[in-house]
Structure 1
Amino acid sequence: MNTEMVLSLAEKGVYTTIIVCAPLLLLALGIGLAVSIFQATTQIQEQTLAFVPKIVAVLVGMIFFGPWMLSRIVTYTMDIFTNLTRFVG
């Protein structure tokens, strides 16, 4: 296993992690921004008002994006296990 192979594995791992996490993070960011604008407009300073909608949105996002996220992770894992002999030997 040479340096190129290690860097390639690390790059694929980081890329897969970013791609899998991005939909939920962007969803939480959008909901958080909308709630913050609503709080600033109405001058409501309730902490749970910012927290609960983000949690609900992320849970709904996990239901919606979950199968796609799982398939990406399984594909990456299968790629690692399929090429394991190249990496070790």
Structure 2
Amino acid sequence: MGALIAWFSGSRFALAVGKWAAITLTISLFLLSFRRSGERAGRLAERIEKQEKTNEIQRRMLEAASRRPRNRGELAKRLRDGEF
């Protein structure tokens, strides 16, 4: 049995199978890594898009707050003038 293993491990067939197995494993690992980095990039893009929407909403709120009436008198004046 030991002689069979020694012959098989040194044969051209075993070397070719080993070479192709290593190539296949390398390509598979590369594709898996590529897929994971794509998923990560997608999540980052989604997070950035969500952050941009949040920033836009906050900017609108700040703009609205800057235009608000400062006191009751200003509020009454705006209501009389029909600015609301």
The interval holding the TM-score normalised by the smaller chain is 0.3 to 0.5
- Could you say which structure has the greater relative contact order, defined with CA pairs below 8 angstroms and 6 or more residues apart? 1
TM-score w.r.t. the length of structure 2 is 0.36
TM-score w.r.t. the length of structure 1 is 0.35
